[in-house]
Amino acid sequence: MTQKQRVKVALIGAGRWGYQHARVFAARDDVELCAVAGRTEARTQARAKQFGLRAYLNIDDMLAAEKPDLVSLSLPNRGHYEPTLQVIRAGYPLLVEKPLVFDLDEAETLLREAAMRELFFAINFNHRYAKPVQLAKAALDAGRLGELVFATWRFGGEGGRGGHAHANLIETQCHGFDMLEHLCGPIASLQAEMTDMTGVGYSTMALSLKFANGAVGSLVGSYDSSYAYPETQRLEINGTDGRILVDDTVKRYRFHRAGDETGEVWEAGYFNDPDREFHRTFDRYLESTLKAFKRGADPPVPARAGYRALALAWAAIESYESGRRVSVTV
């Protein structure tokens, strides 16, 4: 596929975040968004009408009729495995939402089946594409922090009721695991404390982390908080030569050199709506992903990143249940 060719994309999922997939693909001149497959007729027809797509209630029927270049999946968190495997076994390159799945054996099956077919297999960890995170990555790559000493991630808001006992850890804090390793390198071991005091599973947790490079860290996640709170998400990375703070993913980036009371601050300006809006991180993620897809390269965020986040989550579960620190293969 050349850079000038339009990519024919089919969407699976007509829900709330599926709208973001449809919005971004439909707005691109280099994409032909052709169809959507959903679980319910009313919602699927409504989404199809909204974007001028053909509607299907059966994935195999859609793939056979449309023969897309790329399939994008956005489904309920616990409903990822079977449709994803279906698309892989049909032989189509794909982009999936986080979490990859909830079960490690299922994750391994998906990766193995996709590798057998040499498929492009991407996962949407869009937090990486927030402007403050990109500034943090650039500062770290330039060595501005010196040797890393510690990193902390906190992310809390409202969560769904019922479902998996470790839903917050797997479906939401996967962003924390991915972000910490993206910026600070692999986590070598961890120890976890969790609480189910609100009666909706282990909805709040605190993890102690040890990175392979010798730095330490922490992750605090919760579904017993509120996304309305200021600084509901905060990332701090401290090194021997400086410190980085990221507030609410897209809101603010700050850097201070060690011992210097004057720092650098980035916040989106008055007319810079794209960089201040969280949903637009998906636009930038997709720009990077489609560039890689069209030139036949690996995804910038491959599905194995979703497997890695899931492996860390299950290591945390093992740690909590055993009461001991658990090493994680790097």
The per-residue pLDDT for 5 is: 81
Residue 218 φ then ψ, to 5°: -145, 150
The per-residue pLDDT for 167 is: 96
CA distance 38 to 8: 18
Give the three-class secondary structure for 308. helix
Q: How many whole angstroms from its chain centre is CA 318?
A: 23
Query: CA nearest 181: which of 205, 207, 212, 208?
Result: 212
Where do the CATH 3.40.50.720 domains begin and end in the chain?
7-126
Written as six digits, the tokens of 262 are 């004057």
Give the three-class secondary structure for 32. strand
Average pLDDT of span 163-178: 96
CA distance 126 to 133: 10
Asked whether residue 161 carries a pLDDT value surpassing 90, the answer given is: no
CA distance 124 to 29: 21
Asked whether residue 276 carries a pLDDT value surpassing 80, the answer given is: yes
First-to-final CA distance of the chain: 35
CB 49 within 8 A of CB 68: no
The per-residue pLDDT for 126 is: 97
CA distance 297 to 289: 9
The per-residue pLDDT for 159 is: 84
The per-residue pLDDT for 1 is: 56
Token pair 């959507």 is at which residue? 36
DSSP bridge pairs for 210 = 189, 216
Q: How many whole angstroms from its chain centre is CA 7?
A: 23
The CATH code for residues 7-126 is: 3.40.50.720
Q: pLDDT, tens digit, for every residue of 238-256?
A: 999 999 999 999 999 999 9
**pLDDT above 90 coverage of the chain, percent:** 96
Mean pLDDT for all residues in the chain: 96
CA distance 79 to 164: 12
Average pLDDT of span 104-111: 98
Q: How many whole angstroms from its chain centre is CA 54?
A: 28
**216-222 sheet: strands from edge to edge:** 264-266, 252-257, 242-247, 233-239, 148-156, 216-222, 204-211, 187-195, 326-327
Q: pLDDT, tens digit, for every residue of 52-94?
A: 999 999 999 999 999 999 999 999 999 999 999 999 999 999 9
Q: What is the largest CA-CA distance in the chain?
A: 63
Query: CA nearest 96: which of 330, 317, 323, 299?
Result: 299
Give the three-class secondary structure for 234. strand
State pTM to two decimals.
Answer: 0.96
The per-residue pLDDT for 162 is: 62
CB 148 within 8 A of CB 213: yes
Give the three-class secondary structure for 156. strand
Asked whether residue 3 carries a pLDDT value surpassing 70, the answer given is: no
Which of 107-111, 197-201, 241-245 is predicted with the least confidence, judged by mean pLDDT?
197-201
Average pLDDT of span 261-283: 97
What is the CB neighbour count within 10 angstroms for residue 112? 10
CA distance 6 to 128: 26
What is the band of 163 on the pLDDT scale with cuts at 50, 70, 90? confident
DSSP bridge pairs for 326 = 190
What is the band of 330 on the pLDDT scale with cuts at 50, 70, 90? confident
Where do the CATH 3.30.360.10 domains begin and end in the chain?
127-281+310-327
CA distance 168 to 174: 9
Beta-carbon contacts of residue 141 (< 8 Å; ≥ 6 apart): none
Written as six digits, the tokens of 170 are 């797997």
Average pLDDT of span 190-194: 98
Q: pLDDT, tens digit, for every residue of 22-63?
A: 999 999 999 999 999 999 999 999 999 999 999 999 999 999
Strands 233-239 and 148-156, how do they pair?
antiparallel
- The yes/no answer on whether domain 127-281+310-327 falls in CATH 3.30.360.10 is yes
Average pLDDT of span 190-196: 97
